[in-house]
Amino acid sequence: MTLSIRTWEHQIGEIGYSISEAFHGQGYGYEALQIMLQKAFYEAHLYRVEAKCSVENPASYKLLEKVGFKKEGVLREYFNIRGKRYDHFMYSVLRSEYINR
């Protein structure tokens, strides 16, 4: 799992992750996302954190929604994976939403 600061000026970060199939459904993604969001909002003082995931990966977007991310839209044919283009959802969570939930 990574947290990249996209712009300090606008206080925006982006989270990316990949979880091995052997660890799916065990709560590790949820736990790791919670820790990353705490660091993003309380230590890095970011205003907004973004994440993207394939529309064909319900486990990933359900995880994002479970920790408080909101779907903003679809990035059409966003990634080329093994010669096929895939749409991705764009998600974000704002500092105020995360802290006040």
Residue appearing with tokens 């660091």: 39
Cα 51 from Cα 34, distance rounded (Å)? 14
Tens digits of residue pLDDT in 50-69: 999 999 999 999 999 999 99
* Strand pairing class (84-94; 48-54): antiparallel
Q: Phi/psi of residue 19, each to 5°?
A: -120, 125
Which residue range(s) make up the domain with 25? 2-99
So what's the pLDDT on residue 54? 94
Q: Is 85 exposed, middle or buried (0-12, 13-18, 19+ CB in 10 A)?
A: exposed
Domains in the chain: how many in total? 1
Q: In sequence order, what are the residues at sequence separation of 6 or more whose Cβ sits closer than 8 angstroms to the Cβ of residue 63?
A: 29, 30, 33
Predicted TM-score (pTM) of the model is 0.90
Tens digits of residue pLDDT in 22-53: 888 888 999 999 999 999 999 999 999 999 99
CATH of the domain at 6: 3.40.630.30
* Strand pairing class (70-81; 2-7): unpaired
